[in-house]
Amino acid sequence: MENTHNFTAPKINLAGIGSLKDLPTELLDWKLRKALIVTDQNIVNLGYVERIENILKNLFITYDIFSGVLHEPTVAFVEEGLEFTKGLNVLKRDYNVVISVGGGSCHDCAKAVAAIITNGGSIIDYEGYNKITKPAVPIMCVNTTAGSGAEVTTSAVIGDTSRKVKMVITSPEIMPVLSVNDPMLMVSMPKQITASSGIDVITHAIEGFISTESSPITDSLALSAIRITCDYLPRAYENGYDLEAREQMMFASLMGGMVINNAGLGYAHSLAHQVGGFYHLLHGNYSAILLPYVLDFNAVSVPDDRIFKIADAMHIKTNNKTQAVDKIIHTLQKLNEAVGIPKGLNQLGLSTDDMEQIAINALDDAVSFVNPRKGTVEDLVGILKAAM
């Protein structure tokens, strides 16, 4: 019986303190003429975009800057980015690289813009798996958060506000060709973003570890990411200039992104996506609140040894599966509390009136397909209610 586990990641991944200095050497091989930088105004104000500009200038690469990513990316931001490119260029869309500078929102918006430049149409046309048929303009991601993992994935999550849905768009054609993870670009992350993005890492890792598409490769990455997040996220949250903690969380995030890419996620993320489609707050907060309740729902379908391995990565010792699940849930909730994550979805505005539609949308979300236990709309509504 066939059981394939392909592994994909960007060809080049520059990682570690000071790794941005290696970007010019990598860019030389591409013989680039013109770049589109996709970012947000906060990243511009911090001076990080200027550092990329200086690298491009020194290599005689011309560039434009679209800084219109205001929050988690939407169809409107993608369309604004495309209109921006049309308005600036005499030759129109003559970029041979798109460079995103920021966190997952910037990376996902950049992927969408790069895909539409070559494929045409609207990003809505490409919701789901493998609907992008032509290679996107090459995408390079300079990452400033730890993190979404978007800098190393084949997916983009784009909000469609007209339907109150977050679309998951997945295709090998939007895989970045290069990522940069330099913790020096992460030290100024506000506490709230450090917490929300950091706690999302452990959600990626746990969901990927119990996914139906997990493999020994992704298992190793996931368990390491769980252990690192438990050990270092509180430190990064308390002191953003703790470079050891920042670098460790950067590695955990990078591992988590590779887990997403190759094992997938589950209901904590599909529900978090779709709650976000209604209420538009920080994604990581939603997934952090939901994960303990999704794990409780899934536990019956997860082999005992997998539960024990998660527990061990979280420094929990027990040989009883039920006790292990309870202790994992308790530890996750204590970690949430330690980094200021709200205790329930009611604190983030979730209304019981919206739960059924959110559950319906979540079951259609592409990341639901590898959840270890198949649920119904009623099951997912039950999880949402428990997480209130």
- The C-alpha angle with vertex 128 and arms to 69 and 133, in degrees rounded to 5, equals 90
Last residue of a domain, one of 169, 185, 201: 185
* Alpha-carbon 30 to chain mean position: 26
Residue 35 in tokens:
């770049």
Give the chain's count of helices (H) and strands (E): 14, 9
CA distances for 3 relative to 115, 213, 260, 262, 301, angstroms: 31, 10, 18, 14, 19
Does residue 4 fall inside a structural domain? no
Domain count, the chain: 2
Query: Does residue 3 belong to any structural domain of this protein?
Result: no
Q: Which of 164, 185, 206 is a domain's end point?
A: 185
Decide if 102 contacts 46 (C-beta within 8 A): no
Please list the residues that pair with 180 across neighbouring strands: 14, 142
Query: Are 90 and 140 contained in the same domain?
Result: yes
DSSP codes, 171-232: -GGG--SEEEE-GGGTTT--HHHHHHHHHHHHHHHHHHHHSTT--HHHHHHHHHHHHHHHHH
Query: Which 3 state secondary structure label does DSSP give 299?
Result: helix
Q: Specify whether 234 is located in the same domain as 376.
A: yes
Q: CA-to-CA distance for 246 and 34, rounded, in angstroms?
A: 32
Run of H or E residues at 156: strand 155-160
| Structure confidence by residue, pLDDT tens digits, 176-230 | 999 999 999 999 999 999 999 999 999 999 999 999 999 999 999 999 999 999 9
Co-location of 197 and 291 in the same domain: yes
Predicted pLDDT at 170: 96
- Percent of the chain at pLDDT > 90 equals 90
Angle at 373 between CA 167 and CA 344, to 5 degrees: 65
For residue 343, give the CATH number of its domain.
1.20.1090.10
For 162-178, how does the pLDDT look when each residue is reduced to its tens digit (9 = 90+)? 999 999 999 999 999 99
Residue pointed to by tokens 């400033």: 144
Residue 1 domain flag: no
Q: For residue 28, what is the domain's CATH number?
A: 3.40.50.1970
pLDDT on residue 107: 97
Same-domain pairing of 174 and 230:
no
Q: Rounded to a whole number, what is the largest CA-CA distance in the chain?
A: 67
Q: Which of 185, 206, 222 is the last residue of a domain?
A: 185
Q: pLDDT tens digits, residue range 273-287?
A: 999 999 888 899 999
The span from the CA of 156 to the CA of 159, in Å, is 10
SS3 102: strand
What pLDDT does residue 171 have?
Answer: 96
Q: What are phi and psi of 134, to 5 degrees?
A: -105, 145
Sheet holding 128-129, edge to edge: 128-129, 165-170, 155-160
Reported as a pLDDT band with limits 50, 70 and 90, residue 93 is low
3, pLDDT greater than 80: no
Residue 247 to residue 240: CA distance in whole angstroms: 11
